[in-house]
Amino acid sequence: MSRSNEPEAFPGNVPARARWTLAAFLLAAFAGLLALRVNRWGGLDQTSLFYVGLPAVIALIVVFTVRARSATGVAMAVTTVGLALAAALLGEGTVCLVIAAPLLYGIAGLVAWTAKSFGAGGRGGRHALLGVPVLFALALEGVAGTTLLPRADQGEGSVLIDAEPEQVAAALAAPPPYAAPDALFLRAVPFPHPVRATGEGLGTGDVRVVDFTPRRVLRIGSEPTPRDLELEVAESESDADGGRVVFDVVRDTTFANWMDMRRAEAVWSREGDGTRLTWTIEYERTYEPSWYFGPIQSYTTDLAADYLATTFRDAIAEEGA
């Protein structure tokens, strides 16, 4: 029989013992994820131990138990199963799981390749082994509060509005009509979106409550849970040429599982025949590894700030129509 007609390496010719080993590991991983979800042990589901360590362990189990033409291919398949199991348990963390998927697959593939290269021996195996301590160090980021990059960060978005500064101030003092975001990334990833706001005014102590799309969980009979963001005006100043208002985050039942929202600042000033409106959102990152989630959260927050600026621009345009 020709070589092209041989059975596929996965799952056709995987030995029964290897299959049982993989099944037992996945069952143990599912139980561990369930316990992690229920007990929230030290926030480990937000550390590199979860997003780097878990796929690394899956890849090593595959490499040393499965006889296949491509250990990397099998590792990818098993990682996919692991992601499916985790998604059912992580609830709001599923958003981060979707974002982290390239990282998880990359780590699984890298570890599988490194282990196979080391097993083959020779100079390539010795060189591949040099990456082990680096990978180990990266997997521990977030445990006991360790981090490589600063957690405090901010996103910024700016837009030029065809309106007077007084009109911009009036729009900021009222709840805006929210629309679906234009940014592809915000629409593609299941982030919560604002749907309505209550409260008005730009005086110190004035409160806004922004309602977001409800939280839904994969549980039979579960009902959508409302979530919102409460903001209070902490600083405010304005004149004929512009102004500035700072909102402190008082309560957050929307983004608390992904980041620690601190404050939002709106600054507007006359520019040419219009007014420049800039929104800045300050937050602290709560997920590791920082070198992966840091840039992604920064980019996402920039998009959110730009969405805010565009929302008020559109509100002013609709008011003047």
Tell me the three-class secondary structure of 152-195, residue by residue. EEEEEEEEEECCCHHHHHHHHCCCCCCCCCCCHHHHHCCCCCEE
Any idea what DSSP says for residue 7? P
CA dihedral 181, 182, 187, 191 (to 10 degrees): -30
CATH of domain 152-320: 3.30.530.20
pLDDT attached to residue 260: 94
The total of other beta-carbon atoms located within 10 Å of residue 122's CB is 10
Rounded-to-integer distance, Cα 304 and Cα 204, Å: 24
CB 265 within 8 A of CB 246: yes
pTM of the model: 0.71
Q: Closest Cα to residue 141, out of 286, 297, 299?
A: 286
Q: Could you tell me where in the chain the CATH 3.30.530.20 domains are found? A: 152-320
pLDDT attached to residue 112: 76
Rounded-to-integer distance, Cα 176 and Cα 170, Å: 11
pLDDT in tens, 257-276: 789 999 999 999 999 999 99
pLDDT attached to residue 170: 96
Residue type, 179: A
For residue 11, say if its preceding peptide bond is cis, omega within 30 degrees of 0: yes
Positions of the chain with pLDDT lower than 70, given as ranges:
1-71, 74, 78, 81-96, 118-131, 136-138, 142-145, 216-222, 321
247 φψ region: left (φ > 0), alpha (ψ -120 to 50), beta (else): beta
Tell me the three-class secondary structure of 84-96, residue by residue. HHHHHHHHHHHHH
Task: List, edge to edge, every strand of the sheet that includes 225-239.
Answer: 152-161, 274-285, 259-271, 242-252, 225-239, 207-215, 194-198
CA angle 99, 105, 110 (to 5 degrees): 135
191 φψ region: left (φ > 0), alpha (ψ -120 to 50), beta (else): beta
201 φψ region: left (φ > 0), alpha (ψ -120 to 50), beta (else): left
CB 104 within 8 A of CB 48: no
**Distance between start and end Cα atoms, the chain:** 76
